[in-house]
Amino acid sequence: MYVGIIGCGMMGKIHSKAYKELKGINVKAVASLSEQQSKECAEIASAKIASIDEILKDEEIKIVSICTPTDTHKDLVIEAAKNRKHVFCEKPIALSIEDAEEMVKVCKENDVLLGVNHVVRFFEAYSKAKSLLEGGVIGKAVMARMYRGGVFPNHGWNNWFNELDKSGGVLVDLSIHDFDFLRTIFGEVESVTARTIKKTPSHPGENRDHALAIIRFKNGSLAHVEGSWAEPENAPSKFRTSFEFVGTEGMITYDSDEDFTMRIQTISEVHLAFSNTTPLGTDPYKHHIEQFIKAVEKKHEVPVDGNEAIEALKISLAANKSAETGKPVKLTEVL
Ligand SMILES: NC(=O)c1ccc[n+]([C@@H]2O[C@H](COP(=O)([O-])OP(=O)(O)OC[C@H]3O[C@@H](n4cnc5c(N)ncnc54)[C@H](O)[C@@H]3O)[C@@H](O)[C@H]2O)c1
């Protein structure tokens, strides 16, 4: 199976490494706007450097990874689909629901699969928490608190993360991971109330750098999601995540900065309380890409498809709208 990668920055390198480690997969070519980054990816993946057009016209290439800034996803995914490539696109799928729906439609019309890299579902701590919750370890889960953040992502090509119309800010680019994960636990969202701060001391830009969103789910559960690009440059860890799920019989907590990263406390007589470390066993990116390839090979269901990515994006856009208006926003108001 031959693959092409478009975009060779941080995620292009991660995709290159993941494909390289998978048996039977060859990255044939990579493309980006940076000669240096293309060289780095080509080296990691043992691929050649090509133009986007060469990748899309190459009949041997079956899958194309899109690892470019978010505002470019729509055009690249649509072009790839029209050239009959299955597409594995980085999250967020796009910056508007209209664009995302068009992407899904064109992929369907051209009979190609679209996967979106909502990779948090594949991180061991998160997938483990999900299976514990499904196993009823803490009874019925009713509330959650999530944190995801670190220093501002200065690595972006031409500093694209700093432009709201390219990245969507922290709620669209970063907290979307938690929004997507929470949907897999609590189901569909009713409304979102959010606040954001711009011009934080560590990053005096115009973007939405620190955010808090309160999510009310249709099943009555409540989640508190905090996202940050505002931690100081000298913060002890450049990036950390945590979660806390509270249920009728106990709680599960996780903090990537702790030695004992996961704690389960429960009154259940069946399930014992425990703490343990959750070392990163398998590379979650490789794991997700592998599942996507299986879907392409066997025409299976895609692990996270375009429609699921649209639902996660709706939550992010509702949060941005709430931050702008100061009012709760129902998901049905996001078009
Ligand atoms: N899944 C995750 O965990 C995760 C983590 C970080 C970023 N992302 C997402 O991945 C995407 C890329 O982020 P990144 O941090 O790798 O960005 P980056 O700035 O590090 O890399 C972007 C790359 O795209 C290239 N590029 C820019 N415009 C292009 C165009 N029009 N055509 C071809 N190449 C182009 C640049 O030359 C660069 O090589 C974004 O959508 C981002 O939100 C996902």
> Which atom of ligand 1 lies nearest, measured to the CA of 70?
41
Residues 53 and 145 in one domain: no
The Cα 46–Cα 200 span in angstroms is: 41
Residues 251 and 157 in one domain: yes
Q: List the domain range (segments joined by +) for residue 44.
A: 2-118+286-304
pTM of the model: 0.96
Give the residue carrying structure tokens 């060289």: 39
Residue 44's CATH number: 3.40.50.720
DSSP 241: E
Tokens matching residue 275: 């703490």
Tokens matching residue 166: 């390219």
User: 6, 14, 33, 280: which to mutate for ligand 1, most atoms within 8 A of CB?
Assistant: 33
Residues 80 and 95 in one domain: yes
Span from the CA of 273 to the centroid of ligand 1 (angstroms): 41
How many Cα atoms occupy the beta-carbon half-sphere of 47 within 13 Å? 33
Query: Number of structural domains, the chain?
Result: 2
Residues 90 and 146 in one domain: no
Contact partners, residue 117, CB within 8 Å, separation at least 6: 11, 88, 89, 90, 91, 285, 288, 304
Span from the CA of 40 to the centroid of ligand 1 (angstroms): 14
Residues 114 and 41 in one domain: yes
Residues 144 and 181 in one domain: yes
Span from the CA of 155 to the centroid of ligand 1 (angstroms): 10
Residues 138 and 251 in one domain: yes
Kindly give the confidence (pLDDT) of every residue in the chain, 335 residues in length, as a single tens digit, with 9 standing for 90 and above. Answer: 999 999 999 999 999 999 999 999 999 999 999 999 999 999 999 999 999 999 999 999 999 999 999 999 999 999 999 999 999 999 999 999 999 999 999 999 999 999 999 999 999 899 999 999 999 999 999 999 999 999 999 999 999 998 889 999 999 999 999 999 999 999 999 999 999 987 766 676 667 789 999 999 999 999 999 999 988 888 888 899 999 999 999 999 999 988 778 888 888 777 777 776 665 567 999 999 999 999 999 988 999 999 999 999 999 999 999 999 999 999 999 98
Cβ < 6 A, ligand 1 pocket: 6-12, 31-34, 37, 52, 67-70, 72, 90-91, 117, 119, 155-157, 160, 173
Residues 266 and 134 in one domain: yes
Residues 199 and 131 in one domain: yes
Residues 200 and 228 in one domain: yes
Residues 18 and 143 in one domain: no
Residue 124's CATH number: 3.30.360.10
Residues 164 and 124 in one domain: yes
